[in-house]
A and B are shown apart, each in its own frame.
Chain A
């Protein structure tokens, strides 16, 4: 694994082609003297989707922020596309973050910018021509089926629409890793299904590596048991007893990783906590 700084002209994602998209190596972090995450180790292979489950307040969002370098761990190392981000300076992290999309728990849209400017924010920062920004924003909004909201402000949208705009903002630069922080949190079941469909579409159409944080088991199992059909432009269930091979689970419990494995292993686990959690 490399610890070097990022050369601006190197294709970051392909700089270490054999490295996983994300790797946590004995990562621990705490706040105000209280340990939140302890010795967390796992990896997300390229093209793989990991569903991160756990009770509320266990540190799922903290883990995502660690993965994006928004928080530094107290100990351990985190590698993103082979680059060790724990020892990087903030300014060196910015080019790497261009390869990562993040959907925040409460959307975190810029409330003084229109939907167009929110989704096209990263493109505008990269000084792309206005025509190109408009085209890419329209494409991303079309993906989340919100192409009619270009000129609206976030406050004029419903919770579900805001979450879809946040997904459009995360995917507009075609990132190689997407971090979804409770994308369905606080939404009604119908809107949640729409969001999950978008997550599955992104996974199956673009094969993007991702971590999906959720505390809703029904969403998690919908992700592993469905696929996206490009012909019908809808998600459909996989055949019975079949799950998506590229999607697996991580479960946090009391700051530690209680489970890291496939859907089959999770369902057949004898661990008392997992049995209780899944029941």
Chain B
């Protein structure tokens, strides 16, 4: 690769990070500036939160179920099927609940934000909004960020609960385990740091989903093809960032809480 190409690529990368940081900071700063678009916030909460509920319920339930199936067959070799509930609840609440929910919400909403805002950019609707005296970062970006962060928190709780129930369904009705035993071990193993870890992650993941979706949407160039490109990039980048940030938060939390 010629040196100038590397140079250009590096400059583009740094510029993209700079623009992303600026967009995120400005959108967050707008939280405390008037006017506050409460109605838009509620609309986005409905779209992102309530709209994502079916996929989160299905994903959570079946993930818990398959987790119970796999762990029970492995644990059976050691005669330890009694701890199936423990493994399912820990895995769901600490890791799979937040991450899988975020990936599903990212696939649904980061793409939606990028395509919606991208279409508005290429049809000059964003310019029209600015010309009409409205700040698009306040009107469009801020409500999406706040709504995603807030709703990701609740969607993760739903996913955790449904995952544990899915595991219970498989353990009780398919593997013939005692319901009391499953729920007792699932509940007893959980400690305060596990719950904190499981509920802090979706806040970060929600922020990533919304800011990446909005960033690619607001920086769309090149007509309908550009909208498609932005949509794909938003999902890919937000998914990779979620996995990466999950690792960083897990390491950090384990360092603090020791588990």
Residues of A within 8 A of B (CB): 65, 68, 70, 90-91, 94-95, 97-98, 100, 102, 104-106, 108-111, 121-122, 125, 169
Q: Are A91 and B124 in contact (CB under 8 A)?
A: no
Q: Are B131 and A97 in contact (CB under 8 A)?
A: yes
User: Measured between alpha carbons, how far is A67 from B259 in the docked complex, in Å?
Assistant: 60
| List of A residues within 8 angstroms of B133 by Cβ | 94-95, 97-98, 122, 125
User: Measured between alpha carbons, how far is A70 from B129 in the docked complex, in Å?
Assistant: 10
Q: Are B135 and A102 in contact (CB under 8 A)?
A: no
Prevailing SS type, chain A contact patch: mixed
B132 in contact (CB, < 8 A): yes
| List of A residues within 8 angstroms of B134 by Cβ | 94, 121, 125
Q: Which of B125, B129, B131, B132 contacts A111 (CB 8 A)?
A: B125
Q: Are B124 and A121 in contact (CB under 8 A)?
A: no
7 nearest A-B pairs in the assembled complex, by CB-CB distance: A108-B128, A108-B124, A102-B131, A94-B133, A97-B133, A122-B132, A98-B133
A70-B130, A97-B130 given as contacts; is B125 within 8 A of A110 (CB)?
yes
B123 in contact (CB, < 8 A): yes
Q: How many A-B residue pairs have CB under 8 A?
A: 48
**How many chain B residues touch the partner (CB < 8 A)?**
13
A105-B124, A106-B123, A108-B127 given as contacts; is B135 within 8 A of A121 (CB)?
no
26 residue pairs bridging A and B, Cβ less than 8 Å apart: A65-B127, A68-B131, A70-B130, A70-B131, A91-B135, A95-B133, A98-B133, A100-B131, A102-B128, A102-B131, A104-B131, A106-B123, A106-B124, A108-B124, A108-B127, A108-B128, A109-B125, A110-B125, A110-B128, A111-B123, A121-B132, A121-B134, A122-B132, A122-B133, A125-B35, A125-B132
Using an 8 Å CB-CB cutoff, how does the interface string of B122-148 with A read, 1 for contact, 0 for none? 011101111111110000000000000
Q: With A125-B35, A125-B133 given, name 7 new contacts (CB 8 A).
A: A65-B127, A90-B135, A97-B130, A97-B131, A98-B133, A105-B124, A106-B123
Q: Are B132 and A104 in contact (CB under 8 A)?
A: no
Min C-beta distance of A186 to chain B, whole Å: 14
| List of B residues within 8 angstroms of A102 by Cβ | 128, 131
For B124, B129, B131, B134, the residue with the greatest tally of chain A CB atoms inside 10 Å of its CB is: B131
Closest to B33 in A: A91
Q: Which of B35, B127, B135 contacts A104 (CB 8 A)?
A: B127
Closest to A126 in B: B133
Closest to B30 in A: A91
For A68, A98, A108, the residue with the greatest tally of chain B CB atoms inside 10 Å of its CB is: A108
Closest to A95 in B: B133
Min C-beta distance of A145 to chain B, whole Å: 22
| List of B residues within 8 angstroms of A90 by Cβ | 130, 135
Closest to B37 in A: A125
Interface residues of B in 165-192 (CB under 8 A from A): none
| List of A residues within 8 angstroms of B129 by Cβ | 110
Min C-beta distance of A176 to chain B, whole Å: 14
| List of A residues within 8 angstroms of B123 by Cβ | 106, 108, 111
User: Measured between alpha carbons, how far is A50 from B161 in the docked complex, in Å?
Assistant: 66
User: Measured between alpha carbons, how far is A90 from B135 in the docked complex, in Å?
Assistant: 8
User: Measured between alpha carbons, how far is A111 from B120 in the docked complex, in Å?
Assistant: 9
User: Measured between alpha carbons, how far is A92 from B241 in the docked complex, in Å?
Assistant: 35
Closest to A166 in B: B128
Q: Are B125 and A108 in contact (CB under 8 A)?
A: yes
For B35, B127, B133, B134, the residue with the greatest tally of chain A CB atoms inside 10 Å of its CB is: B133
Q: Are B127 and A97 in contact (CB under 8 A)?
A: no
User: Measured between alpha carbons, how far is A98 from B129 in the docked complex, in Å?
Assistant: 11
